[in-house]
Amino acid sequence: QVQLVESGGELVQPGGSLRLSCAVSEFTLDHYNIGWFRQAPGKEREGVICISSSDGTVYKADSVKGRFTISRNNAKNTVYLRMNVLNPEDTAVYYCAAEEGGWGCGLIRHSYDYWGQGTQVTVSS
């Protein structure tokens, strides 16, 4: 059964950094695009950043440009989300998700078929 498991969420101070991991099983990263989404209390789930399966093309939301990066280790079947200069508005449950691979990727929720359980990131002093 396809599984995605996020880890690395924790409490961090404003201006700090954090790295989240998304470990996938029962499929390989060269066949699926991986996206990171987040959901803050009382808000809709929003797309943050994704990486394509074919050539590693990255697409990111404007709110995280210059601060968040995504990378993948195909040998470990793991995708990483590096978050820098965190601020309280980044507080949310972060989810990784998988969509059928291709050239490029997007952040449209309904195109993602598989989801992890989420990991909590809290930015607060």
Given a contact cutoff of 8 angstroms between Cβ atoms, the answer to whether 39 and 88 are in contact is no
- What is the per-residue pLDDT across 81-99, written as a single tens digit (0 to 9) for each? 999 999 999 999 999 999 9
Give me the residues paired with residue 74 across strands: none
Contact 17, 83 (CB under 8 A): yes
User: What residues contact residue 5 under an 8 Å CB cut-off, 6+ apart?
Assistant: 22, 23, 24, 25, 116, 117
What residues in the chain have per-residue pLDDT under 50?
none
pLDDT of residue 96: 98
Q: How many CA atoms lie within 13 A of 44 on its CB side?
A: 4
Q: Helix, strand or coil for residue 54?
A: coil
Q: 3 is written with which tokens?
A: 């599984």
Closest CA to 48 of 30, 17, 69, 32: 69
11 sits in which H/E element: strand 11-12
CA gap 113, 106 in Å, rounded = 13
